[in-house]
Amino acid sequence: MDGAGLGMAASSVVRLWADLGYVDWSKTTTLAPTVGVGVRVAPWLEIETAAAYSRVSGDGFSEPLSGFGNVYLGARHLTLDGPVRSTVGVGVLIPTGDTSRDASLANLWGSMTDGLQHFELRRPEATIVVAPWHVETGERVVLSLDGALGFEHPTDGARRSVDNYVYAHVAPGVAFRLSTALLLGLRAPMLVVFNGDDREDNQFVIEPFVRATIRERGFVSLRLEFPVDDPAASLGGPMYVLGGGVAL
């Protein structure tokens, strides 16, 4: 589920996860780590937080560019029993990100390592409210649908062509369980911006992935990102997102 693909086990109360996005394009290397924590405060409720960082280096830069992104705080309702498993939540991105030009550029490159699927974590000078969901069903063949509806309000210092942005993430997927520990799948994440700068942020990504479970409580995963639309597609492909996590 959300959090690098790690769902809550029935008896777990805490999940820790991390993603590392990576792309090497035209002698420019981008690293985009993201970390998150979820705490299950009731059988049906999880409180979660996440934060991000980006770093860009290469021949075109006299020194590496880096910056911290926003902090996410949210809650989600869990339905983990039965043939259909789901989470539905709501959260806010607190505009804690570095707003300097160098940090903003680093965060822009960092957000493209997964085709802008989680650009909210690296969007400077904006307060963003987002309602994410995840639905999946199946055991040997797993069908899934990730998504989120978002609303962005720029802060006073932001330069935006419109006052507010409304957008949606949608990512259908299918995966095949090769064994009890190994999952191989394909997702098709899409980002649709309903208003803004000539809809230039609309994105479509092809994402094959593999995930291995470790002793039923942890996992490692590798996702390959093939963006179809600019700006992410201009960096070339594939991009790589290495994930991992543990449920306690």
SS3 of residue 194 by DSSP: coil
Separation between Cα atoms, residue 52 and residue 36, nearest integer Å: 9
Residues 219 and 85: their CA atoms lie apart, in Å, by 19
- DSSP-derived secondary structure letter, 1: -
Contact 66, 58 (CB under 8 A): no
Backbone angles phi, psi at 122, to 5 degrees: -125, 25
Torsion of CA 213, 217, 222, 223, to 10 degrees: 110
CA distance 5 to 92: 21
- Cβ atoms of 241 and 220 within 8 Å: the answer is no
| DSSP for 165-177, written as a single string | EEEEEEEEEEEEE
Whether the per-residue pLDDT at 221 is higher than 60: the answer is yes
**Residue 201, CA atoms < 13 Å, CB-side half-sphere:** 20
Alpha helices in 95-238 (DSSP H): 101-111
How far, in Å, are 41, 54, 71, 99 from residue 122 at the CA level?
Answer: 28, 8, 9, 10
Question: Does the pLDDT at position 36 exceed 70?
Answer: yes
With residue 34 as reference, give the H or E element that holds it: strand 28-42
| Confidence check: pLDDT of 2 > 50 | no
- Structure-block tokens of residue 75: 């809650």
Of the candidate ranges 137-141, 194-198, 232-236, 238-242, the one whose mean pLDDT is the lowest: 194-198
Does residue 172 contact residue 188 with C-beta atoms inside 8 Å? yes
Range 97-121 average pLDDT = 90
Banded model confidence at residue 25, pLDDT cuts 50, 70, 90:
confident
Averaged pLDDT, 9-26:
83
pLDDT band at 199 (very low <50, low <70, confident <90, very high): very low
- Which one has a higher pLDDT value, 2 or 223? 223
Identity of residue 186: L
Residue 114: helix, strand or coil by DSSP? helix
Give the pLDDT confidence score for residue 160 in this predicted structure.
59
CA atoms within 13 A on the CB side of 208: 3
Judged by phi (left if over 0) then psi (alpha if -120 to 50, else beta), residue 5 lies in left
Cis bond before residue 124 (omega within 30° of 0): no
pLDDT-derived band at 4 (thresholds 50, 70, 90) equals very low
What domains, with CATH codes, occur in the chain?
Answer: 14-247 (2.40.160.40)
